[in-house]
Chain A
Amino acid sequence: MNHNKKTAILGVTGSGKTTKLINLYKQYINEGISSNDILVLIRNRGQGIIWREKLDLPYSSKLRITSYFGFIQGEIQKFWPLISKTMKRDFGKLEPTFITIEMAQFLMLQLVEESRKQGKLQALQIDNDRVAIELINNISKAALSGVEFINIGEILLNSREKQDITDRELFFQLQELCNNYIEKCRCLGVLDYAMCVDIYNRSLIKEVVYIDYLIRTTSHIMVDDLEEGVPTEVKLLLELINNVDSFTITYNTDGELGRALGSCPEMVEESILPHCEIHRLEKTYTGSPELKGLNKLTEEIQGNICEDLPQFMIIDKDLRSDMLKGVAEKVLSLVAEGASPSEIAIISPFIDPVIFYYIEDILYKEGYELTNLVRNSNLTDDTYVKALVTVASIAHPQWGLYPSYDNMDLVLSMILNMDRIRSHLISLEIAKQKPYSFPDEEELPSNIVKRIGDTYIKRYSMLKNWIMDYQNGEPLPLYKFFQKFFTEILVSLPETEEHLAACSQLIDNCSQFINILKEHEDVNQVDKKYIEFIFKGMKASESIVELRGKMHTKNIILATPYAYLTMRHNRPIQIWVDTSSDDWFSHDVKEITNPHVFNPHWDKRRIWTDEDSDMYRVKKGNIHIKRLINRCSDNIIFARSQLSRYGYEQNGILGERLDELQTLMHKEQIL
């Protein structure tokens, strides 16, 4: 093997870059190289699945195939004592505690609420949740780009066109929030995503002992899709590039998908590619030459006639609801004409519950299923989780929480196997007392007992007694209560299997939440906060099994361009919906976030202009379009509505380009 061979495999979407990289990996293994010596950086869990499936190694030592962040987390864990020592900070723990994005948002939200109470953030017309989410986003982007947290407010403010006293005050307050947040995490001894990246790059990587170790244990580096690489990741690679036996990357020339997440391909082009021997793959295996003409949609189409333009269909309606109906009907007619559901993808720039439920329902009636690739569900959407949280609220009257009637009805009808009306009659009785409590059978009015019936009343008494026993026993931490109720009551219900993953997510998450906060706050308050936090809409995490299911599903799929592309679907028929909406070319700049200005390539003295905004959004939209076309082998159908879901006229860029394309087709036909 050549020592220090640096290779970059460049190619369009679907040209076989990843396959080539995986084959190289297999070759190394076959040559006797230990998998432990090969560090593979991939983008996401979906890619991880592809790697593992395609590798299918009969034997190997430990696999080091991980995302950049997964890699960092592992290293921090491994070198925690060293970090504690170099940062001269006693974290008070032997191991780092990593928190989820939701937990980070929760901690930030508390600070935002406090700040609003003090009369700050007046200029903002957005709610507290959103402020918290945006601030956490800012902190993450800053970390990935290597920007110090204390500079966030200033960088954002400097990029704004208007910087009067209100703006200055606002961004000062936002910076204050970021500072307080970091301090709070330090106090609690926890690390969020951004802090991990920051600690790794600002401290661990600078330790000679560590770098020596890393070089010693890594002979080969492979990076898949480095066009998505973030600045700190590229810097890490630059540290290693000359110190390994081989360095191989793939790079998609159609462009990056994660610009708003911090990707900085220009840095790769400037600092990595010049070191590498370039291999180009020109042909796409997943696209179709017939659809090539549609790439016109990625340009400002001029009046030229395009000879290779395919025939295409537009479902054109006034109302969005009519368009969705049209899409569902089109899918059914395609299937009736012989297409397999596994050949069809519906692509929408945003997936709201309406598009999913509405189309799903129409297809379901005809015997077809629709799989939504975009994870969007809340943990409490799971009925078992809802039941656990509701029962916990009633069983702990000291919290002063009042679950809704629907949730109580749900618990009763699920556990007692009873209808909605009888359940509701009992819920009304529970709610008669403040705080809510399960009345004894004897305390229930006789007419209610009669209406509910003996069988159900018996079951009710059993549930009631369980709660009584719990309340009279030793107090348990909330997550233990969940465990107990799940194993003693819920587990006996018929469909427990389906809800297992969600319930165990709840229990793990709850234990983390409580363990973090309990040392600083009253335990009862922490429990109560957790219940409120859960109801606020904590997202359900996606298990590997679910993700694999989504990647291999034979159903018709519904996806955003991003989800479709990152899960590497190749469906012969794509239906693009809402093409007149501007969401196909959406802005990344929000009220208080701008992911682009943290990028090392951004001149931080400059003002972010509309031209910049437009340039980036057009670029992003174009990349999506180009890559989607390269992942479609037969036909693309477009659907649009004149009015948006809110009833406003819409004239998005894609819609206009489709119009232009239609004009070209007309001209061609006339000629």
Chain B
Amino acid sequence: MNDIKLRPGQDKVLTYTGGRLAIPSVPGAGKTFTLTALTSRLIKEDMHLPGKILIVTYMNSAVNNFKEKIGKRLEEEGLPKSKGFEVMTLHSLAMKIIKEKPEALYLSEDFQPIDEIEQIRIIQRETSRWIEENREQFQSYLEIKPKDSSQKIKNLTFIWADKANNLAREMISYLKSHRIPVEGISQMKRKIPKGSLLEMCLSVYEQYELYLKYLGTLDFDDLIVKSIDLVKNHGELRTRMQGTYTYILEDEAQDSSILQEELLLLLSEKHGNLVRVGDINQSIMSTFTLSDPKLFREFYSGSKTEVSKILTSSRSSEDIIDLANYLIKWSREYHPVQEARESLEPQYIETVDVSDPFQNPITEGYTIGSLVASTRDEEFRRIARSIIKQLNRDKTIAVLLPNAFVMDEFREILEKENIPYNEISSFPKERTKAVESLAAMLDYMANPQENKKLIRILKLTLPHDVLDNTEIMKFLSSSNLEELLYPIKEKDWSNATKEWKLVSESLKIIKNLLDASFLEPEAFILLIAENLHFDDNQMAVAQRIAGDIRHMIRTNPSWGLGELAEQLNQIRNLYNYFANVVYERQDFEAEAGVVNIVTYHKSKGLEFDIVYLTCLTSEEFPASLTDKFRSDFNFLKDSYKNPVALCKAEVDKMLLGVDTVDPIIRSRLDNIQERLRLLYVGITRAKENLLLSTHKSSITNYGVRKVMPSVYFDVLKNYIERGRAEYARKLK
């Protein structure tokens, strides 16, 4: 370990032996390396005994990454690779705590929490029910003009209903984090003014909780809250858990919520050894979760905390680092909104010194540019053309987009241009394939006479072009399937074409499965997986499903394959958490020759040689309180424009006595700050080339809509032009 050159800050971290330590670090500072080196050193010196080192991180992929890297280092030291440490996501940690004492919560020991997508499904159902029963009140929030047609009102109600789901979900999470048990809801309901939006959220919360109880489960918010309560209220468990972890190391500490922080502080109470690594400038989760960058700042400003900053980074070229630093400097001095000048900490990135084995990239020329297009479509087309030129350069490329909707638009263009792409999203489609295939197969097995269902499963086994063959399709959709699969007289396929032979082979597999469909369902699921040649990841998902089948049948004894298929379709989201864990075991490594499309948010933690920052409009990156805000719903009456902010303020007032003067303004301000940090994250993903782009209008279903480039775009564009001129001057 000693022969590795340590950067300023890292060297100090590696002398750490105990107490509270904060490591604020810049993008590309080598956080994983630092934590890995620290862990293996502590273990090598037996400092962790009699307990262990716990590393908490927020991403599944990071868990394995840490494990592998620490394991490798330990092996190099002649120690077993999984000795003395545990790496867990916060949810795994909470689960571990609850599983220590599930009976204290009257939960069965094999309970499984529901995941986010299933949670959304339940909330959607309950919200729709509420809307159905309170339609008049629900529509009363809408900004309806006398001339609006009934169709328009219907459309607006539809859009509002969609947003109401998110509102309910955010509020349930908010109420849980404030430890409002469902029993307290009826009391709260009595306190709020009639017609308050919060009424809907509280009712949905009530029904949602009832349903979770019926399922005998918890959601992810409960996991954290209940694990804290368990540790707090059960002395023995607390002593044991606190004794287990001698050191606690937290990665991405800027994304900690108050509850997460509470849990880690609680667990580290006995030994007092808590190390937190993070970058406040990359705090971009507070709009979606209850995380709060303020917490990390307070932690490292505390008198008991040692601080060791790591400011050098070799990730980006000097020009890109300058641009990122300029954004910090400019925003602190000149941001048009006074309060937003604190958004980015004055934590400037430094390039590494000449002796560092990993040098900052050196580029040929000034490799940062900007682009203004008249429409979004044009912006995307020009980016696509630029990408085509870069594809053969053996460089990794990413296009950062503001949201999934825009991503779909961009993907279409890539497909048209035949540009190979990889979508980095929170739940790529390939992960649902195992569940979908199994459900489709069970569905056919339950209805073996249905041609459409047969064709659907043939699509799982046959190459696309076979089913493009109209003759084959016609044959498959018009034949009596018993004649096809169980002919009285066997058909002779020997002279058939290659495509027909493929069909016949697939039919053989299906026939074998049909014959085996009376097997016990668990065995049958595994058999399907094997016959469809599931890969290891898919097999893991199939086994997870097979494991649940017996329970499904026990609780619903009259179910057959058809009902199982239906259930699998309904609860497929239950397996998303598992599928994510399975697929995210490996850290993402970008490859050259393929363009990666990713949202700004999802790009955190990643790096690419060439990065396109798109859609830098004032709507996506607002810089003044009068900009248009995505969090504002213009179809609602002015006083309800930002329902989440409104409801949260109402809860704050009721519970904490905090009276937010203007919740909508407060929320806009938060939004401005976070979007600015998001832009900073985007810039710092690039190693060598960076292109900032924006547009002046976009075409929507309602016609052409004018948009303004973001103030930041203009500011950075000017800086880039100056940089470019300076470069040209130097060249001369």
Contact = CB atoms under 8 A, between A and B. Distances in A.
Interface in A368-398: 381, 383
A475 B295 CA distance: 76
Contacts of A320: 540, 543
A122 to B, nearest CB: 9
Nearest to A393: B558
Interface string A611-648: 10010000000000000000000000000001101111
B560 A424 contact: no
Given A319-B540, A361-B526, A405-B562, A610 B557 contact: no
A419 B518 CA distance: 12
A648 B109 contact: no
A141 B470 CA distance: 69
Interface residues of B, number: 83
Contact of B108 (A125, A319, A406): A125
A259 to B, nearest CB: 17
B502 interface: no
Interface in B454-504: 480-483, 485-486, 488
B554 A129 contact: yes
Interface string B67-89: 10000000000111011101111
A126 B216 contact: yes
B488 A406 contact: no
Contacts of B92: 648-649
B240 A321 contact: no
B243 to A, nearest CB: 12
A321 B536 contact: yes
B106 A127 contact: no
Nearest to B530: A361
A400 to B, nearest CB: 12
B404 interface: no
Given A125-B213, A404-B558, A406-B518, A670 B78 contact: yes
B514 A645 contact: no
Contacts of A420: 445, 448, 514-515, 517
Interface stretch (B96-104, B386-394, B724-732): B96-104
A536 to B, nearest CB: 5
B544 A646 contact: yes
Interface in A394-439: 402-407, 409-410, 413, 419-422, 424-425, 428
Contact of A125 (B89, B111, B240, B518): B111
A589 interface: yes
Interface string B39-68: 000000000000000000000000110010
Contacts of B88: 649
Contact of A610 (B236, B447, B560): B236
Given A162-B104, A421-B514, A424-B447, A610 B543 contact: no
B578 interface: yes
B546 interface: yes
A143 B585 CA distance: 50
Nearest to B578: A647
B523 interface: yes
A609 to B, nearest CB: 6
Interface stretch (A88-96, A333-341, A350-358, A556-564): A350-358
A666 interface: yes
Given A424-B449, A610-B237, A649-B87, A322 B540 contact: yes
A591 B108 contact: yes
A648 B550 CA distance: 21
Given A451-B480, A649-B86, A321 B540 contact: yes
Nearest to B562: A405
B210 to A, nearest CB: 11
A342 interface: no
Contacts of B481: 421
Contacts of A383: 518
A497 to B, nearest CB: 19
Nearest to A360: B523
A10 to B, nearest CB: 35
Contacts of A610: 100-101, 234, 236-237, 240
Contacts of A428: 449
B107 interface: yes
Nearest to B581: A647
A419 B234 contact: no
Interface residues of A, number: 73
Contacts of B514: 419-421
A524 to B, nearest CB: 18
Interface string B570-583: 00000001100110
A591 B111 CA distance: 12
Q: Which of B84, B99, B523 has the most CB of A within 10 A?
A: B523
Nearest to A452: B482
Contacts of B656: none
B561 interface: yes
A587 interface: yes
B523 A357 contact: yes
A453 B101 contact: no
Contacts of B99: 582
A358 B523 CA distance: 8
A660 B107 CA distance: 32
A67 interface: no
A589 B213 CA distance: 21
A410 B518 contact: yes
A409 B514 CA distance: 11
B577 A537 contact: no
B110 to A, nearest CB: 8
Interface string A129-145: 11000000000000000
Q: Which of A316, A357, A614 has the most CB of B within 10 A?
A: A357
Contacts of B480: 451
A613 B586 CA distance: 37
Nearest to A423: B448
Given A321-B536, A404-B563, A582-B99, A358 B108 contact: no
B521 to A, nearest CB: 9
A253 to B, nearest CB: 30
Interface in B220-244: 233-234, 236-237, 240
A451 B487 CA distance: 11
A546 interface: no
Interface string B530-564: 10000010011001101101100111011111110
A590 B110 CA distance: 11
B446 interface: yes
Contacts of B216: 125-127
B105 interface: yes
B96 to A, nearest CB: 7
A455 to B, nearest CB: 9
A590 B561 CA distance: 33
B399 interface: no
A329 interface: no
Contacts of B577: 647
Nearest to A317: B536
Given A125-B213, A648-B92, A130 B108 contact: yes
A413 B448 CA distance: 13
B647 interface: no
A639 to B, nearest CB: 14
A321 B557 CA distance: 28
A626 B252 CA distance: 44
Nearest to B542: A321
A295 interface: no
A406 B482 contact: no
A402 B557 CA distance: 11
A406 B446 contact: yes
A236 interface: no
Given A162-B104, A424-B449, 15 more contacts: A123-B106, A126-B108, A318-B64, A321-B536, A322-B536, A361-B530, A405-B446, A405-B560, A405-B561, A406-B562, A420-B514, A421-B448, A422-B482, A535-B557, A643-B581
8 contacts: A125-B216, A320-B543, A354-B547, A419-B482, A421-B448, A610-B236, A659-B84, A662-B83
Task: Give 5 closest A-B pairs by Cβ, nearest first.
Answer: A404-B560, A353-B522, A535-B557, A406-B560, A662-B80
